[in-house]
Amino acid sequence: SSIPVICVDGPTASGKGTLAAVLAEKLGYHFLDSGSLYRITGLAATRAGIPLDIANEAAIVALLNTLPIHFEGSHIWLGNEDVSELIRTEEAGMNASKVSAFPAVRSALIDLQRNFRQLPGLVADGRDMGTVIFPEAALKVYLTASAACRAERRLKQLISKGIPATLDSLRADLEARDARDSSRTVAPLKPAQDALLLDNSELTVDTSVQTVLDWWQSKQ
Ligand code: C5P
């Protein structure tokens, strides 16, 4: 496909979501928040009372295949329920990380993700956008920040939403999630060979966005 794709991969709370969404808006491209698909899968399985255990992989995929998932701007719907907020909790993130390690869950989501590649272009945010889903993407960014920075940002986000949290437990959670995401056998979190690395620990969002836009310009 000649439809342009920019991949933004990286660990939890590195600012991928923000960066990717701003890029998509500036370029007028579509936006794929691939993590939301794993979050919805975890939510639906938990609601159905299915323990998030590899032994239940087939049951979780069967359930996933029946889910009426719809994207509408930045909102995500499960049938007629707007789950956009529900899936953003730390617990939902941890559950997403569990189901995302199941190979059949990942395969079941491949086509859905590739279908987001539509004109005039796509910015895709995740863990394996550049390594598995869009391996031929023209620009792959691997966004990182120190664990301390990431925990601090997540704390600010949660507090601004009135959700109580502590720095220590957030840092422990995100390190546990990173460890699981990096060590799984299928599509582990790692930079694609041709990814450009960006550590935004010391950068503002604007500077990160401008850096990636400059990279994108230089590819045209
Ligand atoms: O990016 P986000 O925090 O929403 O992702 C939630 C979880 O979903 C991640 O911790 C990761 O385990 C999983 N995920 C994944 N592959 C992606 C996107 C997310 O495995 N492309």
Each residue's pLDDT, cut to its tens digit, for the chain (220 residues) gives: 689 999 999 998 899 999 999 999 999 999 999 999 999 999 999 999 999 999 999 999 999 999 999 999 889 999 999 999 999 988 999 999 999 999 999 999 999 999 999 999 999 999 999 999 999 999 999 999 999 999 999 999 889 988 889 999 999 999 998 998 899 888 899 999 999 999 999 999 999 999 999 999 998 8
Nearest residue (by CA) to ligand 1, atom 21, is: 126
Q: How far apart are CA 108 and CA 85, in angstroms?
A: 24
User: Is 42's C-beta closer than 6 angstroms to any atom of ligand 1?
Assistant: no
ipTM: 0.98
Would the CA dihedral through 23, 14, 75, 128 be positive or negative? positive
User: Is 11's C-beta closer than 6 angstroms to any atom of ligand 1?
Assistant: no
Please give the distance, rounded to the nearest whole angstrom, from the Cα atom of residue 183 to the centre of ligand 1. Answer: 13
The greatest distance separating any two alpha carbons of the chain, rounded to the nearest whole angstrom, comes to 50
Q: How far apart are CA 157 and CA 30, in angstroms?
A: 24
Let me know: does 170 contact 90? Beta carbons within 8 Å.
yes
User: Is 96's C-beta closer than 6 angstroms to any atom of ligand 1?
Assistant: yes
pTM for the complete prediction? 0.94
Helices and strands (DSSP H and E) totals, the chain: 9, 8
